[in-house]
Structure 1
Amino acid sequence: MTSETADEIRVRYRRAQSVTRAEEIQEEEARVRKQQPDKPCHRPRDSLFSWSSGFTNFAGLVNWGFLLLSMGGIRLLLENFIKYGWRVDPEQWIIVFTGRQEGDGEYPSIILLMYSVVPIVLCLLVEKGLAVEIIGNKLGMIAHIANIIVLVMIPMVTINVKSAGFSLIGATAVCMVYSVLFLKLWSYVQVNLWCRQARASHNFQQMRRQRISFHTFREHASVDDSVSNGHLRREEEEESIHHKLVHYPDNLHMQDIFYFMLAPTLCYELNFPRSERIRKRFLMRRMLEVVVGFQVILCLFQQWIIPSVKNSLIPFSNMDVAKATERLLKLAIPNHLVWLIFFYLMFHSFFNLVGELLHFADRNFYLDWWNANNIDTFWRTWNMPVHKWAVRHLYIPLVEAGYGKTAAGIVVFFISAFFHEYLVSIPLRTFKTWAFMGMMAQVPLSILSRYMEKKWGPRFGNIVVWSSLMLGQPLCIMMYYHDYVITHFGEELLDRYGQV
């Protein structure tokens, strides 16, 4: 032990002794003070709002904040009714959904939704050909890639060529369904490719030989005293479970692929975890939530969001920063409320409803994204089906192929940005890049949120996450509405479409 190390130990010991001695003096002083006739009532304490106080029970302040927000929301609701009157009209919902305000009665959105079965069947047929080696691997992959690319291109071409026949809701539904099919078919093709590679590999052949030798060994197990009966029983149970599972290529049939297309997941497996029964009460609650939540979203759109968006058009077009900012903050409240309801409606109510009907047991559709301390954590927790797909079919394959983690992460954001733009620009027939740039902006925003978390603590990182959610979406809505009016109606109609 060096002299410097010994000196450091003596210094630390001396400091520890001094601290201990100081505590003893304080305790002795407090004991003596209690014995004084002035009845002392003071002792060293921090204020409750100080971090050093250790106080954490702020339930009353949470209740106060909830009441304050409720009062503010009620005031905004009354202001909306006084200014715009009652705007909820269920008849308009039917007109928008059916597209009766546009087109010639051909309902192309319904035709495209029905046509979505075709690429699914084509994908299955190609996989069957690959499994029995009628189709070569190279030709089969070319066919799969062409099928998936055509799948994505069909809505882009059809909605622009037959634009008058599509309602906004119909075009959005088509783009959403085709986007989901793209991700599901990608997963289906890649998983079956893994299975074909495993079947053709030496390891797979070795596993088969081990199973054959196991059967031979089991026949002569009675003369081999070195293997216990418990080990044999365990091996037999594993073999029994192995035979119960579906193996490639027994999974290549219509029932399997259409179950996957309907299941609330984007990642294909040959053997999904299944629940034993349907919980009727649970199912009825989810059905009620879907019906009621859907109506609430439609009412909020008609009564609150549409007037707010229209009122933002003129200030945003004139680049009146003060008024545009006021309209942005005014739109942020109903937009965020609708987004939260939509999240619960889709990721909890609807996905659980579908999962219950299909006996799909993996209900991990979201994690506690509301506690995310940075943007990376938010994107990893709020949409688990997409996150699992991105990690399983993009991130890990790219990293295994030799690309860096940063490059793989940027590719994941790029694909996500493409589909965000796809779901907005095509239905609106307004080809801008606001949604794409908004998603790509998550990369520097992620760096900022991690810096805030590291510099100021998790709470400030969480504030950055919530701020981006509250302000980013309404800003994107205002930009797209302005461009939509300019593109389809011209600048001379700004005043008309900016009035409620």
Structure 2
Amino acid sequence: MPISSERETLAPDLRSSFRRRLVSSAAAAAAAVAPDAAVEMTLVSAENSMTESMCVDTSSDADSRCMIGNREEERKGETAMSGGGGERGDGMGTVEGESPAKFVFRASAPAHRRVKESPLSSDAIFSQSHAGLFNLCIVVLVAVNSRLIIENLMKYGLLIRAGFWFSSRSLKDWPLLMCCLTLHCFPLAAFVVEKLAWNELVSGPVLLLLHVILVMTEISYPVFVIVRCDSAVLSGLALMLLASIIWLKLISYMHTNYDLRTLRHHIAKDGVSFQNLLYFMVAPTLCYQPSYPRTTCIRRGWVIRQFIKLVIFTGFMGFIIEQYINPIVKNSKHPLKGNFLNAIERVLKLSVPTLYVWLCMFYCFFHLWLNILAELLRFGDREFYKDWWNAKTIEEYWRMWNMPVHKWMVRHIYFPCIRNGFSKGVAILISFLTSAVFHELCIGIPCHTFKFWAFIGILFQVPLGILTRYLQYKFKSSMVGNMIFWVFFCILGQPMCVLLYYHDVMNRKVTTE
């Protein structure tokens, strides 16, 4: 049979099959939206339109052109229904020189087809995206705070003192600087002791005694210098933070090497390396290990950008302290001695600026400074914090906001207590007790007040954690737990601590002068 005869035989079958498929598609589309009467009218319209638009040419090329033409007509009809692409955009689907659309949204088509909730209803609010409202809150927050800053500057002027960061009294704190420099001798002494232990030149009890002397001297020496010299608060705070960091690193270095020595019959006997210790002492971590994950290169441009941010946010933090917090606390009375309502008013008034300072401090230290240090040292593990702002309980907050300290606590306090037979609750209490001691050392010693406000505040986190966990269980809502966390920790707790320590420091100045 000639090829042309085959084409003539197959062409009607192709046209018939194509017509049936398009008719069934139109019927299905109409049935989904229109009632029965509308379906019948749509089917008839679709059948007539298909019959008129089919081609008569029997060649294969003509069939192909016809099929393509029908598909183009369908697309044009859909465009006309949406209001574009043709001369008429009224939804009727007609274009000049073409047949009516196969399917239209009729007036009798149902507009309500299933049960739906409003986006802000209680059943649907948590499944909706609120990015637009979040952006609105940011815009409103910036606008309101900008107005308050301008109003404050117009009313009181610039209150920042020239001696905010450095003063004549700070220049007299040179013993603190010498103490800061000599603190780095303790890691060297720890390395010598560990070298002797790895070479089995000292016994276990002697090794333990040497380590105890080292760590006790390292933390007692700066305390003695600060108290003896009657140093400024900022100078003493910087020294105590450095001393606490070195102390935690020494404990980790000694504990890890002890554990490695007990396992050395399973692993290679590498001993200790001074290079590893040197890297550990400057790395943004408190947990020692012989090697760390490292990145391949240093992004110099990224470091410069982060450093500029660090300078800007540090200056902003100082501005808030001098312009807002200092005037508020100066005009307040001691929260435990004055009128109760007046104390509550001062606490609430302090809550916003102290919260801003807290957030700036967190961003400057945990995000900017630690990441800058990690980038310069090519330190790979940069999980310095988790999403603590989503914490539903106090316990979750303490597990997420300061990951270097949390990892140290878990590694060298919590699990050693568990392995030695303590219960989970006792291990948590010991961890909070250790944290409370160091909070008091880092705050009470530089302020030269020994009222143990920081110590009590940290230990108070234990019953507060139980309370927030109970409230979260009772309300069965993560949002309620998160709100309770913000109220207890940032709205009430921190402003109260600021007032207590400020008035104790001021009272001490009055009595000494």
TM-score bracket for this pair, using the shorter chain length:
0.7 to 0.9
Is 1:296 aligned to residue 316 of structure 2?
A: yes
How far has the Cα of 1:402 moved from its partner? 0.8
Q: Where is the helix percentage greater, Structure 1 or Structure 2?
A: 1
From 145, 156, 177, the equivalent of 2:223 is 156
SS in 2 for 1:52: coil
From 253, 264, 278, the equivalent of 1:258 is 278
Paired letter, 2:270:
Y
Paired letter, 1:120:
P
Residue aligning to 1:143? 210
Paired letter, 2:175:
P
From 235, 240, 243, the equivalent of 1:178 is 243
**Could you tell me whether the CA contact under 8 Å between 1:315 and 1:321 is conserved in 2?**
no
Q: Structure 1: how far apart are the matches of 2:121 and 2:165?
A: 56
SS in 1 for 2:422: coil
**Could you tell me whether the CA contact under 8 Å between 2:158 and 2:323 is conserved in 1?**
yes
**Could you tell me whether the CA contact under 8 Å between 1:195 and 1:248 is conserved in 2?**
no
Residue aligning to 1:452? 471
Residue aligning to 1:5? none
From 110, 118, 137, the equivalent of 2:177 is 110
Q: Structure 2: how far apart are the matches of 1:328 and 1:162?
A: 32
How far has the Cα of 1:127 moved from its partner? 1.0
Residue aligning to 1:101? 169
Residue aligning to 2:481? 461
**Could you tell me whether the CA contact under 8 Å between 2:249 and 2:281 is conserved in 1?**
yes
Q: Structure 2: how far apart are the matches of 1:269 and 1:315?
A: 47
Is 1:380 aligned to residue 399 of structure 2?
A: yes
**Could you tell me whether the CA contact under 8 Å between 2:334 and 2:500 is conserved in 1?**
no
How far has the Cα of 1:169 moved from its partner? 1.3
**Could you tell me whether the CA contact under 8 Å between 1:413 and 1:439 is conserved in 2?**
yes
Is 1:355 aligned to residue 374 of structure 2?
A: yes
Q: Structure 1: how far apart are the matches of 2:411 and 2:160?
A: 43
How far has the Cα of 1:101 moved from its partner? 2.5
**Could you tell me whether the CA contact under 8 Å between 1:273 and 1:360 is conserved in 2?**
yes
Q: Structure 1: how far apart are the matches of 2:407 and 2:295?
A: 21
Q: RCO higher in 1 or 2 (8 Å CA, sep ≥ 6)? A: 1
Deviations 1:173-199 (A, max 9, x none): 110000001100000000110111112
Deviations 1:356-409 (A, max 9, x none): 111111111111111111111111111110000000111111101111111101
Q: Structure 1: how far apart are the matches of 2:122 and 2:221?
A: 58
| Larger-Rg structure | 2
Deviations 1:20-47 (A, max 9, x none): xxxxxxxx9x979x99999986675444
Q: Structure 1: how far apart are the matches of 2:273 and 2:135?
A: 55
How far has the Cα of 1:320 moved from its partner? 1.7
Residue aligning to 1:405? 424
Paired letter, 1:65:
C
Larger deviation, residues 384-393 vs 145-154: 145-154
Q: Give ranges in structure 1 of 5+ residues lacking alignment.
A: 1-27, 209-246, 494-500
From 234, 254, 259, the equivalent of 1:194 is 259
Distance 1:171 1:315, change over 3 A: closer
SS in 1 for 2:290: coil
Q: Structure 2: how far apart are the matches of 1:360 and 1:482?
A: 42
Is 1:324 aligned to residue 391 of structure 2?
A: no
From 429, 435, 438, the equivalent of 2:454 is 435
How far has the Cα of 1:487 moved from its partner? 3.0
**Could you tell me whether the CA contact under 8 Å between 2:385 and 2:401 is conserved in 1?**
yes
**Could you tell me whether the CA contact under 8 Å between 1:347 and 1:365 is conserved in 2?**
yes
Paired letter, 1:172:
L
What is the RMSD of the two structures over their aligned residues, measured on CA atoms?
2.7
From 461, 480, 483, the equivalent of 2:504 is 483
Paired letter, 1:52:
D
Is 1:281 aligned to residue 301 of structure 2?
A: yes
Deviations 1:195-235 (A, max 9, x none): 11112x5xx2xx67xxxxxxxxxxxxxxxxxxxxxxxxxxx
Q: Structure 2: how far apart are the matches of 1:67 and 1:271?
A: 45
**Could you tell me whether the CA contact under 8 Å between 1:266 and 1:389 is conserved in 2?**
yes
Is 1:69 aligned to residue 88 of structure 2?
A: no
How far has the Cα of 1:65 moved from its partner? 2.7
Deviations 1:116-164 (A, max 9, x none): 012111111111111112221210111101110111111222211221x
Residue aligning to 1:6? none
Q: Structure 2: how far apart are the matches of 1:306 and 1:350?
A: 26
How far has the Cα of 1:95 moved from its partner? 2.7
Is 1:88 aligned to residue 153 of structure 2?
A: no
Distance 1:257 1:41, change over 3 A: closer
Paired letter, 2:177:
I
SS in 1 for 2:250: helix
**Could you tell me whether the CA contact under 8 Å between 2:384 and 2:404 is conserved in 1?**
yes
Residue aligning to 2:128? 56
**Could you tell me whether the CA contact under 8 Å between 2:173 and 2:232 is conserved in 1?**
no
Residue aligning to 2:436? 417
SS in 1 for 2:224: helix
Q: Structure 2: how far apart are the matches of 1:51 and 1:172?
A: 48
Paired letter, 1:356:
E
Paired letter, 1:149:
M
How far has the Cα of 1:317 moved from its partner? 6.1
Q: Give ranges in structure 2 of 5+ residues lacking alignment.
A: 1-31, 40-105
Paired letter, 1:93:
F
Residue aligning to 1:497? none
- TM-score, with structure 2 as normaliser: 0.75
Residue aligning to 2:492? 471
Paired letter, 1:114:
L
Task: Give % identity.
Answer: 35
Count of residues in correspondence between the two structures: 412
Q: Structure 2: how far apart are the matches of 1:325 and 1:126?
A: 53
Residue aligning to 1:239? none
**Could you tell me whether the CA contact under 8 Å between 2:176 and 2:222 is conserved in 1?**
no
Q: Structure 1: how far apart are the matches of 2:339 and 2:144?
A: 26
- TM-score, with structure 1 as normaliser: 0.76
- Summarize the alignment of residues 206-285 of structure 1 with structure 2, pairs less than 5 Å apart: 248-249=270-271, 251-253=272-274, 255-285=275-305
Residue aligning to 1:370? 389
Distance 1:358 1:45, change over 3 A: closer
Is 1:393 aligned to residue 416 of structure 2?
A: no
Distance 1:38 1:271, change over 3 A: closer
How far has the Cα of 1:75 moved from its partner? 3.5
Distance 1:408 1:85, change over 3 A: same
Q: Structure 2: how far apart are the matches of 1:315 and 1:431?
A: 16
SS in 2 for 1:364: coil
Larger deviation, residues 322-331 vs 435-444: 322-331
Paired letter, 2:492:
L
Q: Structure 1: how far apart are the matches of 2:117 and 2:307?
A: 51
